[in-house]
């Protein structure tokens, strides 16, 4: 199953919010080469994301040094993300996507979960490497939401990108 935009396609513009509710777009989160956009189900209740969160924390500095800073995007509120950041000593910025507008811009909303309030607006979990101009350079995801690309796989992929 193919998820999200095709590699080589330009992503649609998006706006997300920091924990402090400051608006961010792609240009405000990119590094020298682009951004590592990590779409996550929920920082509040998804145990698989909570494991991935720690894995990303271990590689965030490496990705930043390579020019691909980590930017997780969740439909969770800034308050939920703030709690999770503090509880896990997260070194990168988690972004809130209220209303799932960025998730929809990338075509990642998990429609199978609609109608269930707790799950409304969640994306399929995926990692997109987006160049500064919004071109999708690569994407990583697994066939099932219970699995996530390891930190080692994410770093290896970033090393291959120009």
Task: Give me the tens of pLDDT residue by residue for the chain, a chain 162 residues long.
Answer: 678 899 999 988 899 999 999 999 999 999 999 999 999 888 777 777 777 888 899 999 999 999 999 999 999 899 999 998 898 899 999 999 988 999 999 988 887 665 665 566 777 789 999 999 999 999 998 877 778 888 899 999 999 998
**pTM for this model (two decimals):** 0.90
Residue 38's SS3 state is strand
Report how far residue 13's alpha carbon sits from residue 5's, in angstroms, rounded to the nearest whole number: 13
Are 50 and 43 in contact by the 8 Å Cβ rule? The answer is yes
Report how far residue 37's alpha carbon sits from residue 69's, in angstroms, rounded to the nearest whole number: 8
Q: What's the CATH code, domain 33-160?
A: 3.40.30.10
Give the residue from 119, 99, 118, 98 showing the smallest Cα distance to 110.
119
Alpha-carbon Rg for the chain in angstroms: 14
Give the residue from 151, 127, 155, 162 showing the smallest Cα distance to 52.
151
């Amino acid at each position: 199953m193919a998820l999200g935009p095709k590699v080589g396609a330009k992503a649609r513009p998006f706006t997300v919010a920091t924990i402090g509710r400051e608006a961010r777009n792609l240009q405000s989160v990119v590094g020298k080469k682009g951004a590592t956009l990590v779409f996550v189900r929920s920082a509040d209740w998804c145990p698989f994301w909570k494991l991935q969160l720690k894995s990303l924390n271990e590689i965030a500095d490496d990705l930043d040094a390579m020019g691909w800073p980590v930017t997780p995007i969740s439909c969770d509120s800034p308050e939920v993300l703030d709690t999770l950041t503090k509880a896990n000593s997260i070194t990168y910025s988690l972004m809130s996507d209220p209303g799932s507008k960025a998730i929809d811009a990338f075509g990642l909303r998990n429609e199978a979960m609609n109608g269930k309030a707790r799950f409304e607006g969640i994306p399929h979990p995926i990692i997109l490497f987006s160049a500064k101009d919004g071109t999708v350079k690569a994407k990583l995801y697994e066939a099932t939401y219970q699995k996530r690309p390891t930190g080692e796989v994410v770093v290896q992929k970033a090393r291959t990108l120009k």
